[in-house]
Amino acid sequence: MGPICEEPLLLETLKSYCPNITYFNISDVGLSTQFLELIGNLQKLQFLTLWYLYEIENEPEIQVIQFAKLLPFTLQYLDLRYSCLSSYIEILLNNC
């Protein structure tokens, strides 16, 4: 399957129509406002795989903290393989 060219539309659709997702595997995505809103909306999320997360350009520490605070308490598994978040793992873990 090739990359999805309408990433904002996909994220908005998932946020609006799929709030009960428990397993989410996505790659080649950035920490955009839409992505953060989606993660914050998935309160039943248990497994999250983020491969090839885009490099964070503006205020990376703040964006990582925002992301960490949005992760639901139900999350049991987080895979950040090949992700730019690896550089900020201490910040991420300290803010979950």
Examine residue 50 and state whether it is found in any structural domain, yes or no: yes
Examine residue 51 and state whether it is found in any structural domain, yes or no: yes
Q: Classify residue 27 as left (phi > 0), alpha (psi -120 to 50) or beta.
A: beta
Q: How far apart are CA 30 and CA 27, in angstroms?
A: 9
Examine residue 43 and state whether it is found in any structural domain, yes or no: yes
Per the structure, how many domains does the chain have? 1
Token couple for 1: 């399957």
Parent domain of 22:
7-94
Examine residue 61 and state whether it is found in any structural domain, yes or no: yes
Examine residue 1 and state whether it is found in any structural domain, yes or no: no
CA distances from residue 69 to 37, 62, 63 in whole angstroms, order as listed: 12, 11, 10
pTM score of the predicted model = 0.85
Mean pLDDT by 10 residues, the chain (96 residues): 69 94 92 91 96 82 93 94 86 93
